Chain A
């Protein structure tokens, strides 16, 4: 049975937490785009971190264009913004950003009584893919903008009633 937690507004939480992660780690101002259309990318980099426990399971995805992922990595590593950076470094930075998003959400869930653990990050790269989940999984897509670059956070979450 799927159970909602009215006391945790996932969209509100992620909106605030992403802005904080970008401001604190990258000195970048990210702006939530209300009811924004999902951005399209010719080449996409997606960070993913799963979480799971007795009463909740899910995953957090951070979707970026390859160009913006490069720019974020340069910012985090203190390199010029247009410097070409290797995939290993980009994967590490995007994985760590996703980890911070998921870690924050995990903490908020734990504080509401949904104890869970997070996975280590994984990176997906491609030109055209969608992440699907079963129908009973709550699906939230949040769109953001920084300096003309659109990006998105996707949260898949399922609350399970325990007996």
Chain B
């Protein structure tokens, strides 16, 4: 069964990079552009993991994470924060909120896969079997 991953980021670029990184793996990617949309998608899709940006309009990542942890149906979903802010206090702050891990932007795609792979079992998609060779009668 494919892993269901929710990417919450106001930047379409980052969501696209996340999708591109995960393309070789057997997973379903859901997307949301802010925390409010992210909560709605989380309720509907029950993802296996959430990749969550911090600074977003409408509802930021910290608020979404707080609401997620208050919801008995959603609080067990592991969250990896994607943040452009690597400061010591910021890291301590988001760690206290109960995130599984965090990834600082800028990041390489293999760093993202490494972090996600430590939380959920990512499996490479099976490649299609080669077409049968034609055999002369």
**Chain A positions near chain B (C-beta within 8 angstroms):** 20-21, 24-25, 76-78, 89, 92-93, 95-96, 99-100, 102-104, 106-111, 115, 117-120
Contacts and interface: CB of A to CB of B under 8 A. Distances in A.
B98 to A, nearest CB: 21
Interface in B6-25: 10-14, 16-17, 20
A92 B106 contact: no
B55 A99 contact: yes
Contacts of A77: 13, 16
Select the residue from B56, B87, B88, B108 with max chain A CB neighbours within 10 A. Answer: B87
A118 B55 contact: yes
B11 A103 contact: no
A89 B85 CA distance: 23
B55 A21 contact: no
Interface of chain A: mostly helix, strand, loop or mixed: helix
Interface residues of B, number: 23
Interface string B76-88: 0000000111111
B105 A111 contact: no
B88 A104 contact: no
20 contacts: A24-B107, A25-B106, A78-B20, A92-B11, A96-B11, A96-B13, A96-B105, A99-B84, A100-B84, A103-B55, A103-B84, A103-B105, A104-B86, A107-B85, A108-B87, A110-B90, A111-B88, A118-B84, A118-B85, A119-B55
B89 interface: yes
Contact of A100 (B87, B89, B106): B106
A47 B55 CA distance: 16
Interface of chain B: mostly helix, strand, loop or mixed: loop
A76 B11 CA distance: 12
A92 B16 CA distance: 11
A24 B83 contact: no
Given A78-B20, A92-B12, A103 B56 contact: no
A96 B14 contact: yes
A93 B89 CA distance: 27
B117 interface: no
A98 to B, nearest CB: 10
Given A78-B20, A99-B11, 18 more contacts: A24-B108, A25-B106, A76-B13, A76-B17, A89-B12, A93-B13, A96-B11, A96-B13, A96-B105, A100-B106, A102-B84, A103-B84, A103-B105, A104-B84, A108-B87, A111-B88, A118-B55, A118-B85
A110 B89 contact: yes
A103 B83 contact: yes
A120 B60 CA distance: 10
B105 A100 contact: yes
A95 B55 CA distance: 12
